[in-house]
């Protein structure tokens, strides 16, 4: 598992936030879905803040040819595109993370469809037109595993300038060979995702 040295404050915030769920009885304010969504968002900010500043490895001759914000992991959200959304990443790490999440979300949708779910109807994620909200519910337990795999990958991966391309709006894309490598190294077993979908179905039938 990847370690995050020097990130104790951010990780302590996450740990103390999660400690509420170890109580014998949840406090009333954590029993409301809307409050839970807001709480999860705040914890996620602290969680991804622990990644900020971790250096990305670049070929020595290319370091001076790339934008400064490509040299290390930046904030998860960007105000360059999509109004502080995590989509259309402006940093190579987050572009890779978006790709890894996308592959996992496709596997989650497949698993849920097999179990007969309507993926547009979420439990924790609010329903939105055109969004598979239940897929976003199912992927949550797997995000940490993907994050760990990707952090370990970037701990050894050396990038070259041609590995990343930038769009006019500032978003970045991985070259095909880097994208394939990310998918190869971060894809989770379909059997584990299928089991999670099955367990969700069984819990709802009880």
Query: pLDDT tens, 161-204?
Result: 999 999 988 899 999 999 999 999 999 999 999 999 999 999 98
Closest listed residue to residue 71, CA positions, set 86, 88, 85, 53: 53
pLDDT at 2 exceeding the cut of 60: no
Residue 119 is predicted with a pLDDT of: 95
Query: pLDDT tens, 102-113?
Result: 999 999 999 999
3-state SS assignment for residue 8: helix
Q: pLDDT-derived band of residue 125, with 50, 70 and 90 as boundaries?
A: confident
Euclidean distance between CA atoms 169 and 180, whole angstroms: 24
Residue 12 is predicted with a pLDDT of: 86
E strand or H helix that includes residue 93? helix 92-114
**Which CA distances in Å does 109 have to 66, 82, 132, 178?**
36, 25, 8, 25
Residue 45 is predicted with a pLDDT of: 87
Q: pLDDT-derived band of residue 34, with 50, 70 and 90 as boundaries?
A: confident
Domains of the chain by range and CATH? Answer: 51-205 (1.20.120.920)
Query: pLDDT tens, 81-99?
Result: 554 455 689 999 999 999 9
pLDDT at 114 exceeding the cut of 70: yes
Concatenated DSSP letters of 14-45: HHHHHGGGGSSS--GGGSSHHHHHHHHHHHHH
Euclidean distance between CA atoms 123 and 203, whole angstroms: 13
Residue 127 is predicted with a pLDDT of: 78
Mean pLDDT value across the chain: 89
Residue pointed to by tokens 């040299």: 71
Q: pLDDT-derived band of residue 4, with 50, 70 and 90 as boundaries?
A: low
Name the residue with higher pLDDT: 46 or 183: 183
Residue 205 is predicted with a pLDDT of: 87
What is the value of pTM for the model shown?
Answer: 0.87
Taking the alpha carbons of 64, 70, 75, 80 in that order, is the dihedral positive or negative?
positive
Euclidean distance between CA atoms 26 and 21, whole angstroms: 6
Euclidean distance between CA atoms 117 and 134, whole angstroms: 8
């Amino acid at each position: 598992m990847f370690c995050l040295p020097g990130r104790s404050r951010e990780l302590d915030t996450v740990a103390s936030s999660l400690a509420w769920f170890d109580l014998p009885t949840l406090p009333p304010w954590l029993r409301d879905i809307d409050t839970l969504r807001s709480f999860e968002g705040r914890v996620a900010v602290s969680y991804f803040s622990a990644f900020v500043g971790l250096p990305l490895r670049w070929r020595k001759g290319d370091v001076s040819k790339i934008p400064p914000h490509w040299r290390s992991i930046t904030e998860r959200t960007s105000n360059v595109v999509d109004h502080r959304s995590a989509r259309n990443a402006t940093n190579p790490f987050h572009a890779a993370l978006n790709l890894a999440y996308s592959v996992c979300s496709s596997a989650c949708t497949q698993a849920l469809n097999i179990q007969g779910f309507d993926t547009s109807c979420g439990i924790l994620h609010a329903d939105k037109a055109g969004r598979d909200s239940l897929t976003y519910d199912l992927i949550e337990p797997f995000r940490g595993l993907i994050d760990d795999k990707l952090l370990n990958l970037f701990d050894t991966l050396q990038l070259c300038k041609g590995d990343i391309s930038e769009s006019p709006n500032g978003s970045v894309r991985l070259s095909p060979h880097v994208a394939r490598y990310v998918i190869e190294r971060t894809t989770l077993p379909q059997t584990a995702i299928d089991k999670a979908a099955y367990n969700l179905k069984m819990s709802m039938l009880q």
